[in-house]
Structure 1
């Protein structure tokens, strides 16, 4: 499968199955789909391909059926065509173009693999001191009652993780909410308990914390810097944008309170192992300005992501927003590339991509591992496939006392992969997004093997931009 596109002056060709990416000239770019068609028709030798191309060039042959090229006649010299064909066939013979899909052969083993839990999202607080308008957790309540996790429940959750992690050494625990700092003592106690489990069980915990920053102070910062591998700091960008969507319950904005705290924390971590994480909505389709604003505040690890909301919500992204959003990603990519070349680069989460190694087969096929390797735990100890399923009783999998009792739910998530999703099978982005978010698919289609189409279009554009940046920096 080949995907090719133009972005910020670069002609980029992706061989989806091998993961190879090529930056090519106009001639090679235009010839590649013709050669793919020849190979599909059994013509693989240089002479036969050149004959077909020269016939098309002279107007005597049949043009490629590729829709995007159907009106573009080849106008290159015979020498240019010959050099292009030679280059393309070399890549083909090296296994970097027109390769077969080897991953589907793993599906049988993949479905039957042993279930090993490696990560928990601990809902340490179903309560919050902000009233974010887009909060899928309903201001921390998750379709239910406000509650704080007790140490006893959290302790059982960590015991469950250790007991169900098999031979895996590195385990991940995210303190989540609501707002975790509203249950700060239990966070500290659970970290201490987790550390006590490491040596006797040959495990290593990687703790993370997601916070809105309102309760952040020096004591919290000191502890976080000692114990937390990563910290996620919630802020949407510019003051007006942030305060519109992330106010206090009384309506006051949060920007002025959190910005200096976040700047201090980011500097104390030497600008590593944290993210400022924002959400953009229909209200700020120019979200690139928010990324730039966060960068100008001194943050070097930035994630600003599209809101996922019911179409009826006034802040929801709409299909008609897509052209503006796609253009905004292109503009943002060009801006971040410019800053990188000027020595003022930042890491934008959605433009970070590994073209040399990339994720393992399991992650390529199924992504985050929700419902199998990754589970969410409510304050009272119930297990759900991930934090976005919490409160949907049809996905209640068990609890910290009884373990996983709904193994059918686990098995359903075990079979959730890019080959189970009809729209993913022939998508160039499938091995980068791994089929997308199961919760979004369920919320918009009623099936975890469905697809959230608007999110797919944004993800594909982000991947294209990320690869363009890689190509430009290697140029």
Structure 2
């Protein structure tokens, strides 16, 4: 058999369970070349020539890509032989075909899970808000505009929801109640009543959380929230210049001073009660000068003495809502062209900032943002041989991890999913038929069409967000999210292995931590 025939035969072997582009991902750091195998999760360090061959195998439309590398026949033959040997010894490039997706909603008895293992109820305690943040989903300018509402949740709806959680959480490992809006503190009277009732009903074995703009916090509210161990996310977009650009009152005035005042009251109450830090800050950046804004945030965190030194900061760009986009095969020429348009400003800022500051660079707020990405890589699925089953990405069991209860008592998956089909209501309970059809069978049938072609299928953290319109699955909303996820994961692989090259011991911090 001549060399070309041998290579063609090898390529056909790789194609036995689908296109090679789904079998793995090549990536490199400044010092080394790597290959991630889809089926096993193994990451292998390879030589440059082998890297080029692997890259051509998984990114080319056909075997001809190998012959366009400019390698001598001997180099190509040697590299193919080396890859064949590793395939036999390490079982790489052998991922099984994706025929379906599995998850707890499929494997476990859904009815049993939703009857006894519900963990969280998050209340939309009010539709009202005292701010008119320019990028808010409720604004008429937002593509998913819901409109600013004027309803408050009633005690009857709230009590039924707490009773429902109690009745359906017998086997739950932990139970949690969250408060959302609008601005939830506009209905603090109800929040207080819910907390006191829930503590009595659950014999104090319940946790609480809230997302708030903090502008309404006074000493009474601060003490109540800290006393009852609320996990708090305060919406503060960095320094006044950035915050007041978007987070304005109904009268068009900036809200920075009030948000800071409320945050200080929370921190003071926390200090007085000697409680562990339970407050984090969510900073939304609207651009267009992202990298400049991130520098301002970092300087703000370092200079403001009232902020704790170990403060947790979450940051994100403005969510512009679901948008349809075309689908391109992962690692295809079409997708690689689009990769150039995927802008990841936080990572680019961090690289430039560390380079500028050198050894004087302190801990950055971005560290906590990238922490989850490192966890995904560190805790990835690892197997000696390719796995035979593939999971439903980051999808939870609908209604089990969280129920988002609207002011009217309607059940939604969570507060992040937008206008998608309901999963029940407080009077009739879960609509198991809808959950099984829309959020398991229909989702799996649609998702596996795309997931079966993706090298990141065992790393992906995407859930139901951007997968539905108001009545059914609508994956044209999701394709951009998938491309961004693959880009994030590739960058996370690079970041993780750069750390492994220079400071492997620091990765041990993830051993005992759970990926949530």
Select the residue among 437, 440, 451 that pairs with 1:424. 451
> What SS does the aligned partner of 2:164 have?
helix
CA distance, structure 2, for counterparts of residue 19 and residue 295 of structure 1: 37
Tell me, yes or no, if the aligned pair for 2:236 and 2:281 is still in contact at 8 Å. yes
Structure with the higher fraction of residues in strand conformation = 1
CA distance, structure 1, for counterparts of residue 24 and residue 188 of structure 2: 50
Correspondence for 2:433: 407
Tell me, yes or no, if the aligned pair for 2:103 and 2:391 is still in contact at 8 Å. no
Within a 5 Å distance, the mapping from 1:75-474 to structure 2 comes to 89-90=85-86, 93-95=89-91, 97-101=92-96, 107=102, 110-111=105-106, 113-115=108-110, 116=114, 117-138=118-139, 142-143=146-147, 145-165=149-169, 167-199=171-203, 204-228=205-229, 230-259=231-260, 261-262=262-263, 265=266, 268=270, 273-281=278-286, 283-286=288-291, 288-289=294-295, 292-293=298-299, 295-296=301-302, 300-309=311-320, 323=340, 326=343, 328-334=345-351, 344-346=363-365, 347-349=367-369, 351-353=371-373, 354=375, 355-358=377-380, 365-370=393-398, 373-388=401-416, 392=419, 395-405=421-431, 407-409=433-435, 411-415=437-441, 420-421=446-447, 422-438=449-465, 440-443=466-469, 447-474=473-500
Deviation at 1:250, TM superposition (A): 0.9
Q: 1:245 to 1:273 in 2, by over 3 A?
A: same
Q: 1:190 to 1:77 in 2, by over 3 A?
A: farther
> What SS does the aligned partner of 1:131 have?
coil
Deviates more, 1:184-193 or 1:351-360: 351-360
* Root-mean-square deviation (Å): 4.5
Relative to the length of structure 1, the TM-score reads: 0.74
Relative to the length of structure 2, the TM-score reads: 0.68
CA distance, structure 2, for counterparts of residue 80 and residue 70 of structure 1: 11
Tell me, yes or no, if the aligned pair for 1:418 and 1:434 is still in contact at 8 Å. no
Deviation at 1:4, TM superposition (A): 1.8
CA distance, structure 1, for counterparts of residue 281 and residue 474 of structure 2: 29
CA distance, structure 2, for counterparts of residue 22 and residue 227 of structure 1: 48
Deviations 1:283-336 (A, max 9, x none): 444464465356545564222223232699xxxxxx999856525244135258
Tell me, yes or no, if the aligned pair for 1:398 and 1:404 is still in contact at 8 Å. yes
Tell me, yes or no, if the aligned pair for 1:350 and 1:462 is still in contact at 8 Å. no
CA distance, structure 2, for counterparts of residue 217 and residue 91 of structure 1: 64
CA distance, structure 2, for counterparts of residue 283 and residue 135 of structure 1: 17
Q: 1:465 to 1:236 in 2, by over 3 A?
A: farther
> What SS does the aligned partner of 1:423 have?
helix
1:3 aligns with 2:42: no
CA distance, structure 1, for counterparts of residue 236 and residue 354 of structure 2: 23
Correspondence for 2:69: 72
Deviations 1:148-167 (A, max 9, x none): 22333222112212322352
Deviation at 1:470, TM superposition (A): 2.1
Q: 1:12 to 1:272 in 2, by over 3 A?
A: farther
Deviation at 1:417, TM superposition (A): 5.1
CA distance, structure 2, for counterparts of residue 107 and residue 412 of structure 1: 15
CA distance, structure 2, for counterparts of residue 224 and residue 362 of structure 1: 41
Tell me, yes or no, if the aligned pair for 1:294 and 1:302 is still in contact at 8 Å. no
Deviations 1:418-462 (A, max 9, x none): 663233332233344444443x23359963544433333333332
Q: 1:237 to 1:206 in 2, by over 3 A?
A: same
Structure 1: runs of 5 or more not aligned: 38-62, 313-318
Deviations 1:390-423 (A, max 9, x none): 6x5x724432222124732453113365663233
Deviates more, 1:226-235 or 1:446-455: 446-455
Tell me, yes or no, if the aligned pair for 2:175 and 2:205 is still in contact at 8 Å. yes
Deviations 1:138-192 (A, max 9, x none): 49x9547412223332221122123223522212322111111112232232223
Q: 1:301 to 1:103 in 2, by over 3 A?
A: farther
> What SS does the aligned partner of 2:403 have?
strand
Deviation at 1:207, TM superposition (A): 1.9
Q: 1:144 to 1:211 in 2, by over 3 A?
A: closer
Q: 1:444 to 1:87 in 2, by over 3 A?
A: farther
Deviation at 1:464, TM superposition (A): 2.6
Higher relative contact order, structure no. (Cα contacts within 8 Å, ≥ 6 residues apart): 2
- Count matched residues: 436
Deviations 1:245-265 (A, max 9, x none): 211111111223324654675
Q: 1:324 to 1:108 in 2, by over 3 A?
A: closer
